[in-house]
A = this chain, B = another copy of it.
Amino acid sequence: MNNVKNSSIAVVGAGIAGVTTAFHLARRGARVTLVDDGGFGQATAASAGIIAPWVSSSEGGFYEAYAAGGNYYPEFLSQLEALGIPELGYRRSGALMVSADAAEVDAVEERIAGRVRDAGPVAGTLQRVDGARARELFPALAPGLSGLFVSGGGRVDGRVLRDAALSGAIAFGARHVVDSVIGLDRSGAGWRIRTTTADLDVDAVVVAAGARVTDLLGRLDLRVGVSPQRGQIVHLELRGVNTSPWPTLHPFADHYMTPFDGGRIAVGATRETGSGFDARVTAAGQLSVLRNAVEIAPGLADATVLETRVGIRPMADGQLPLVGRVPGTDGLWLVAGYGAGGLTMGPLLGDAVARDVLGEAAPELAAFTVAVERRSRGGEA
């Protein structure tokens, strides 16, 4: 857009993808309206974010984007702090990978070592730890597990960071509307967004509505490969234990543990494909999460069960999320499909999308494609 100051942009969705995009747009001077349906099941609200891409099992392009997101974190956090927002839900206490199988640790060490070295100071150091040291770091751990400790790993509470980014966007002048989008149409050179209470005419739209993007783009007869995947995460508490210095725990498996301050430890998560938006806590889900947790960390057996959070993650059909301009449609951007990686990748890619919308260079987006399929209507309605 030629005149950034006068361009008006709507961002639909207030999970991590939406709030970071709105934040970066607003701090660059754009007039932004963030439309948030206030709905249930937001993945960000349920997430116990691990900011340690180097220990993930991801490969290739996803890893590149993931690692770039991790590198960007210190800068993003300082942007928020500079606005006088002191509580960001973030702490850097390391990431601990454990296994009962030394050969597995060897193999992973080989894979991880270069990553940590390449990432530089943000990743800190990689240390091989024996069982005793592992239990010093994470005292609830079962004996007999050794592994790897990456000192630069961080963790973040998705709700807190989301609200901080939202506050930051508002501090830069963004408008926040809590309402549901019930129409999305071309209007002259721009777009008209209809909500239940008003129409909003803008120059550009960023659809960042998690797994609901399929629904929103469906209104434009566009299909995108993003599906909902339910995650159930249980929050436990060890009263009187200072869990702040505990690292995140990764037993080389899907599940993980994220210690927060004040004795709180999030354990999870289920990865329930085909769940739709059915954001329930289920007997089987709760059982599976608790069984894994108590097996790896018997010290959690007597922890208090505080709550279970449920998030509906947007899973991309392909390896990579769909981030960038929607091809063939003017003024429409998509940020979707982060899966479980949104808290790590969101802040950087939100900045890249903001730049792209405003006509600035956004080389980070080159790696992503936004595959959409145009479908014809099923006849006259």
Q: A interface vs B, CB < 8 Å?
A: 37-40, 83-87, 91, 160, 163-164, 166-171, 176, 178-180, 182-183, 185-187, 192, 194-197, 211-212, 214-215, 218-222, 227-228, 234, 236, 239-242, 244-245, 261-263, 274-284, 286-287, 290-291, 293-294, 300-305, 308, 329, 377-381
- The answer to whether A261 touches B291, judged by C-beta atoms less than 8 angstroms apart, is no
Closest to A166 in B: B240
Q: What copy number does this chain have within its complex? A: 4
Say yes or no: A381 contacts B277, CB within 8 Å. no
Interface residue from B38, B219, B234 paired with A218 (Cβ < 8 Å): B219
Selected contact of A179 from candidates B39, B168, B278, B304, CB within 8 Å: B278
Pick 27 A–B contacts, CB within 8 A, sort by A.
Answer: A37-B277, A38-B277, A38-B279, A39-B39, A39-B277, A40-B40, A84-B244, A86-B261, A87-B261, A166-B239, A170-B240, A176-B240, A180-B212, A180-B277, A182-B214, A183-B218, A186-B379, A187-B379, A196-B214, A197-B274, A218-B219, A220-B381, A280-B305, A283-B293, A283-B294, A283-B301, A287-B294
Which of B38, B241, B278, B290 meets A290, CB within 8 Å?
A: B290
Which residues from chain B contact A84 at a C-beta distance below 8 Å?
Answer: 242, 244-245
* 17 additional contacts (CB under 8 A) given A186-B377, A186-B381: A38-B280, A87-B261, A87-B262, A160-B262, A163-B239, A164-B242, A167-B263, A170-B241, A180-B212, A185-B377, A185-B381, A196-B277, A282-B305, A283-B302, A286-B305, A287-B291, A291-B291
B178→A38 contact, CB < 8 A: no
Residue from the list B211, B221, B242, B275 in contact with A171, Cβ < 8 A = B242
User: How many Å lie between the Cα of A35 and that of B281 in the bound state?
Assistant: 20
